[in-house]
Each structure stands twice: as C-alpha cells, then as structure tokens.
Amino acid sequence: MNPDAAARTRAAGVAYAGGAYVLWGVLPLYFLLLVPTGPWEIVAARVLFSFVFCVLLLTFTRGWCRILAIVRQPRLLGWTALAGVLIYVNWQVFLIGTLSDRVVETALGYFINPITTVLLGVFVLHERIRRLQWVAIGIAALAVVVIILAYGSFPWIALSLTASFGVYGLIKKKIGPAVDAVSGLTLESLWLIPIAVVQLVIVAHTTGITFGSVGAWHTALLLFAGVVTAVPLLLFASGARRIDLAIIGMIQFITPIMQFLTGVLILHEPMPPERWIGFIIVWVAVGVFVVDLLLTRRRRPPLPI
C-alpha cells in the first residue's frame, strides 16, 4: 500500500472510531430526553427497534446470506446468544445508572474497561502483558478500593458495566471475522426479543407503557433508539478494521471523558472529595496505560510499504 493510501485509510479509521465513541459519549443526554420512560422500557425499545433497523439494513445491503452462513454453525450461534445476554446486561445497567443520576459512575466503568480487557486477555486468553500494564491494573484496583472504603458505597454500576462490556469484547474477539457487525447485532437482538417482550408486559402492568402516550417527539425519539444503538457499533467495526488496537485504545477514552463531564457539568451530580480521590487515582491508571500504548507503538518497526 502506498503512503498516501495508507494515510487515508488510517484517517478514515480514526474518523469512524472517533465518531462511534463520541456518539456513545452523548448517549446519557439522549436517554434523559426519553423521561418519563423508565430504563426497562427503554432497553426493550433498544432491543426491538435495533432488530428492525438491522433487518432493514440487511435487506438493503443484501446481507441475508451472511446470516444464513452463521445459522449453519451452532457454535457461532451460541456465541452470539451469549454476546446478546452480555450486551443486554450492559444496556440495562447503563440505563439504570443514567436515569438514577449516576452518570459519573457509568463513566468510571468505562474508564476502567480497557484495563479490564487487558486482565481478561491475561486470564482467559493467556496473553502476556507488559510491566506498565500491570502497574495500571494495580492502580485501578486501588482506585476501586478507595471508592468503596472512602466513599462508603460499592460501585456496582461501574463494575457491572466494565465486566459486561469487557467479556462482550472478549467474545467478539473469539468470534473474529466470522460474524460481521450487522449480522452480529441482528442475532444478538433476536435472542433478546423474548426478554424485551417480558419486560414490556411487566412495565405495562406496573408503571404503564409510555410509548405513543407522551407526545409525537417522545415517540419519535423512542423509535430512533434502534438507530442510536446500531450506528455507533457499525462505525466502531469500520474503524477497527482500518487502525490498530493501540490507537483504538487511546480513542476509546473519549466516551468516559464525555460522560464524566456530562455528569459533573451538565447534570451537576455530587462529587465529594472521596469520589474525586477515587477518580484521580483512576486517571493515573489510565495515564500509565496510555503511556504504555504510546511507548509500545513507538518501539514497533515500521510496516513495509
């Protein structure tokens, strides 16, 4: 590949991945527009409307042959089902955190997520990691302990988010290129339809369904939840194919930074000194992690043109 073409490919990859993380960063504000709809109804809408959007996308791009190829492989189907359960947990916890004035805690989860991914690589994939990565892991663990002891509460939202998305990413890595982004999200949403239906039935018999009853604008936003869910995932998949993981690892901090700023500056969530201390320690861990990525990238020999 000539230098100009390689530069264009990298630029496109950064743009796609950056777009995905920016969209994920503004999701809390989008979901807050859906109030008075609760987290259980919103997640059900995300599942159902994501499935509809993916079906339309597959039909438009003539991608049903890829779905049929996956269906013929029970092992791949099983992985997509497990991925669906994990992304459901991630979505549900994220919505509970966002709609209960805990956006800052959701940001904490995504700050820790890259380090969680490294740990999963060590203990599940038996990968070897560098000394600075171990230092970052130790500092992040210290931050969690500080938040629990000093702040007086267990950060279950943050840890649930980082665990669910970390394992989800691990499954995506194991599946590899055998399942493309659109087919994967279609199947993951398909497996979750029964859960979404049960949730809607429970909501209908308790707080009541808000879809179609609050106003045209609110109904349109709920319908758009499928697009909001699918587009960042598709952008991320396009970006990841064009740039290496070191760049992805640095870009992904866009999301928690935006969520943290949203929680503190826009939603005015409380930040007592104990929480600031915990976050500062997390940011030190993130800094060590990014320095390691930069040093490793610099030491790599240039790719042949």
Q: How far apart are CA 40 and CA 21, in angstroms?
A: 24
Give yes or no for a contact between 20 and 228, defined as CB atoms under 8 angstroms apart: no
Per-residue model confidence (pLDDT) at position 181: 81
Least confident of 87-91, 110-114, 236-240: 236-240
Reading the block at residue 130, the tokens are 């560098």
pLDDT in tens, 112-131: 887 787 788 778 877 777 88
Average pLDDT over residues 165-174: 83
Per-residue model confidence (pLDDT) at position 249: 65
Per-residue model confidence (pLDDT) at position 301: 53
3-state SS assignment for residue 97: helix
Report how far apart the first and last C-alpha atoms of the chain are (Å, whole number). 6
pLDDT in tens, 18-34: 898 999 999 999 999 99
CA nearest to 114, candidates 166, 65, 69: 166
Average pLDDT, the chain: 86
Give yes or no for a contact between 175 and 184, defined as CB atoms under 8 angstroms apart: yes
pLDDT in tens, 3-20: 777 778 878 888 888 898
Per-residue model confidence (pLDDT) at position 304: 44
- pLDDT confidence of 151, banded at 50, 70, 90? low
Spell out the residues 6+ positions from residue 119 whose beta carbon is closer than 8 angstroms to its own: 137, 166
pTM to 2 decimal places: 0.86
Per-residue model confidence (pLDDT) at position 117: 77
Whether residue 59 is predicted with pLDDT greater than 50 in this model: the reply is yes
In 165-259 the beta strands, taken as DSSP E runs, fall at none
Per-residue model confidence (pLDDT) at position 233: 80
Average pLDDT over residues 132-137: 82
Average pLDDT over residues 202-229: 92
What does the CA dihedral 205, 207, 213, 216 come to, rounded to 10 degrees?
-130
Q: How far apart are CA 76 and CA 171, in angstroms?
A: 10
